[in-house]
Amino acid sequence: MGKTVKILLAGVLIMSSILGVQHLMDDQQDGKFVNQDPEFRQSTNIVEILKAYWRLERDSPKPDFELPVHSISKQALEEETQDVVYRLGHSSLLLKINGELILTDPVFSDRASPVQFAGPKRFHNTPISIAELPQVDTVVISHDHYDHLDKRAVRKLAAKTTRFLVPLRNGKRLVDWGVPSEKVTEFAWWDSVTVAGVEYVFTPTQHFSGRGLFDGNTTLWGSWVIRSQHTKVFFSGDSGYFDGFKTIGDRYGPFDLTFIETGAYNELWSNIHMFPAQSVQAHQDLKGKVMLPIHNSTFDLAMHNWQEPLEQALSISNDRGVTMVSPEVGQRMEIQAPLPLNTWWRKG
């Protein structure tokens, strides 16, 4: 039953991409957003994907040991004076930059799914609950997929967050969920805003949007450049590999730290999610100094073993002379003083 439900849920999410993803220029077509690459096609074959899921056998779809999680305290966050990052899980990051507390794609629910009784379940707890968080200055959203936009989290964050920065046409959804409209700002690609000495620039990715069968690409998707006078980071959201990373690197690089999607990849959807080698290349295109792979080790969203993205990213980074870090969930890391690499995903 569990496998059947997972296949059906995968089908719903994949079908939304097939019905939604178009091609041509970085504007809109027939009321839907499109990717920049004029040659882009969403060639995903739903039948082949469902067949592959049905035949799937893996050694390690999820951890067989308890993953290390460091609790984060409200007091520590309030007293923090350095520019730091904590990985909360998947693509959820908690940053403090220039004194501003920033959350990226906050997903706190047990499952990345339209429902909480089925779908991909967390491998680990979050290191801090929303109730325990101090006032959050800024939440940035990359796109509306369930593993990046968590309705329950948004509702809980609405009262204790100063501002939500979201891609075009996501604003109404947040307002419908209870976020006051004056707290929500929508962004097109290359739009920016500076608040309290921190600039947020919404930059392109090659991906898609949609939370159901018939709303594909009605909202925009993208990545974020976040920079202050002393610190500059890049948050990738989700993307296939494309030349936009080099454009962003040329405009805004070098970056002290890049948070790059590294996980949930497969040949059957290779144009919308990167393989580890492409993730490392994207980091290099961005002129990043240090790479922190995200989008892995929290949910089972593809067909590879759970630890494969980090293993491959580490091997490729070593081959290319790239500095990679992977702090444990909830572990404090200063952006200007990255931690030594810790291969925590290897049991024992």
Residue 24 banded pLDDT, cuts 50, 70, 90: very low
Residue 27 banded pLDDT, cuts 50, 70, 90: very low
For the segment 177-198, the average pLDDT, to the nearest whole number, is 98
For the segment 307-317, the average pLDDT, to the nearest whole number, is 98
Q: Is the pLDDT of residue 137 over 50?
A: yes
Q: Is the pLDDT of residue 194 over 70?
A: yes
As given in the structure block, the two tokens for residue 328 are 């444990």
Query: Alpha-carbon distance 232 to 200, whole Å?
Result: 10
> Which domains can be identified in the chain, with CATH numbers?
67-334 (3.60.15.10)
For the segment 284-296, the average pLDDT, to the nearest whole number, is 98
Q: State the Cα torsion 146-147-153-155 to the nearest 10°.
A: -20
3-state secondary structure of 334: strand
Query: Given this model, what pLDDT does residue 28 score?
Result: 54
Q: Is the pLDDT of residue 2 over 90?
A: no
User: Strand runs (DSSP E) across the chain, as ranges?
Assistant: 28-29, 32-33, 84-89, 92-97, 100-104, 136-140, 161-167, 184-187, 192-195, 198-203, 223-227, 232-235, 257-261, 290-294, 323-324, 333-334
pLDDT tens for 43-89 read 556 777 777 777 878 999 999 999 999 999 999 999 999 999 999 99
| DSSP structure string for 221-254 | --EEEEE-SS-EEEE--S----THHHHHHHHH--
pTM: 0.93
Percent over 70 (pLDDT), the chain: 90
Give the pairing type, strands 136-140 and 161-167: parallel
3-state secondary structure of 308: helix
Q: Is the pLDDT of residue 9 over 90?
A: no
Pair 107, 150: CB distance under 8 Å: yes
Residue 328 banded pLDDT, cuts 50, 70, 90: very high
